[in-house]
Amino acid sequence: MTNFKIFFDEFFKNIGEDKNREGLKKTPQRVESSWKQLYSGYAKDPLSLLDSPLYDGVCDEMVVLKNIEFYSMCEHHILPFFGEISIGYIPNNKLVGISKLVELVEIFSKRLQIQENLTTQIADTLMKALNPKGVMVVAKATHLCMIMQGMEKKNSILITSAVRGIFKKDARSRAEFMEHIK
């Protein structure tokens, strides 16, 4: 807590705010508590999450989980970005429970991030852990750094995708996934 207090004493001083004002007295403690949750993804290993598949050899058809809500913090501005991620994969013997896909999104989104890396990290981890025939991840997000400062473009949405395995080679598989997440 001491480091947070020192940090916020300097922060309040730099912006011209009274650190002893009633509404700010407990701000360092509240922020410290908030940051523990916002950045909890660093404490978790994404590969160990997926190290025991739910089923082995049960399904070889496309599995799609769409509209997984997430929020993350931009590593450039320490401002939030948030939206939805859709994941599709074609198992090659290993199938995980859908809650594991949500947890995987949580692990990577609760770190300082850029959306492009978030999308790639999810796809690469699924490829490494499950060795599926293919993975496709699409993320759509609103970035407060675009809304609150700089360009101030209120309605912009960033869309990123990561395409691996059969999804990269087979346009029909990509099209099927995209149809599912419409």
pLDDT tens digits along 110-119: 999 999 999 9
Q: Are residues 74 and 158 in the same domain?
A: yes
pLDDT of residue 57: 67
19 and 93, same domain (yes or no): no
Examine the domain organization and report whether 25 and 72 are in the same domain: no
Q: Are residues 60 and 113 in the same domain?
A: yes
* Residue 43 domain flag: no
CA 41 to chain centre: 9
Give the pLDDT of residue 167: 98
Three-class DSSP category at 113: strand
Residue 131 near residue 95, CB atoms below 8 Å: no
Q: Which residue blocks in 1-143 are alpha helix, DSSP H?
A: 2-15, 27-38, 46-49, 98-109, 115-130
pLDDT at res. 23: 94
pLDDT top residue among 174 and 59: 174
Which of 50-54, 61-65, 67-71 bottoms out in mean pLDDT, i.e. has the lowest?
Answer: 50-54
Q: Compute the mean pLDDT over every residue in the chain, rounded to the nearest whole number.
A: 93
User: 109 and 28 in one domain?
Assistant: no
Six-digit token string for 170 = 């087979």
> Sign of dihedral through CA atoms 62, 63, 67, 72?
negative
* pLDDT one-digit tens code per residue, 1-27: 568 889 999 999 999 999 999 999 999
34: domain range?
2-38
The per-residue pLDDT for 1 is 55
Domain count of the chain? 2
